[in-house]
């Protein structure tokens, strides 16, 4: 079955960086876009960007431009999201979520989602 398994919780100090991984299984990793979405405690969902695992091409939300980097390692079917210059308001659960096939535009729902990775930013 299609599954996305994310790395474990992280605690970081303000100004540091965090890198979250998302390992895909049950499908051809390079065949589908991968999105990253975050959710602050008790809050709603916020889209951060996507990566095309086939080409490595990315599209980031304007809010995160310059601070986020999405990469992938096709040899191990894993996507990564790195967020730098962390602030306290970056404390959130970070999710990866599969998008549509890479032969089309990334304009479709997200299914499935990883289990989430809690990133806590605290001094």
Partner 1 sequence: EIVLTQSPGTLSLSPGERATLSCRASQSVSSSYLAWYQQKPGQAPRLLIYGASSRATGIPDRFSGSGSGTDFTLTISRLEPEDFAVYYCQQYGSPFTFGPGTKVDIK
Instruction: Using CB under 8 A, pick the residue from 26, 40, 57, 111 that binds partner 1.
Output: 111
CB of 98 within 8 A of CB of 33?
A: yes
Cβ 24 to partner 1 shortest distance, Å = 14
Cβ-proximal residues to 79 (8 Å cutoff; 6+ apart), any chain: 21, 22, 24, 34, 51, 53, 70, 71, 72, 96
Closest CA to 98 of 56, 20, 37: 37
Q: Does residue 17 belong to the site contacting partner 1 (CB under 8 A)?
A: no
Q: Which stretch binds partner 1 (CB under 8 A): 24-32, 57-65, 66-74, 76-84?
A: 57-65
Instruction: Using CB under 8 A, pick the residue from 46, 69, 82, 120 that binds partner 1.
Output: 46
Q: Tell me which residues touch partner 1 (CB under 8 A).
A: 35, 44-47, 59, 61-62, 95, 97, 106-116
């Amino acid at each position: 079955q299609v599954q996305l398994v994310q790395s474990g919780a992280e605690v970081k100090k303000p100004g540091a960086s965090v890198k979250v991984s998302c390992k895909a299984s049950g499908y051809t990793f390079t065949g589908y876009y991968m999105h990253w979405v975050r959710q602050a405690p008790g809050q709603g969902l916020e889209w951060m960007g996507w990566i095309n695992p086939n080409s490595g091409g990315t599209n980031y939300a304007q809010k995160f431009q310059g601070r986020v980097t999405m990469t992938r390692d096709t040899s191990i079917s894993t996507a990564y999201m790195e967020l730098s210059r962390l602030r306290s308001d970056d404390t959130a659960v970070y999710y990866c979520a599969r998008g549509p096939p890479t032969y089309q535009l990334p304009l479709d729902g997200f299914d499935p989602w990883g289990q989430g990775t809690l990133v806590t930013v605290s001094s």
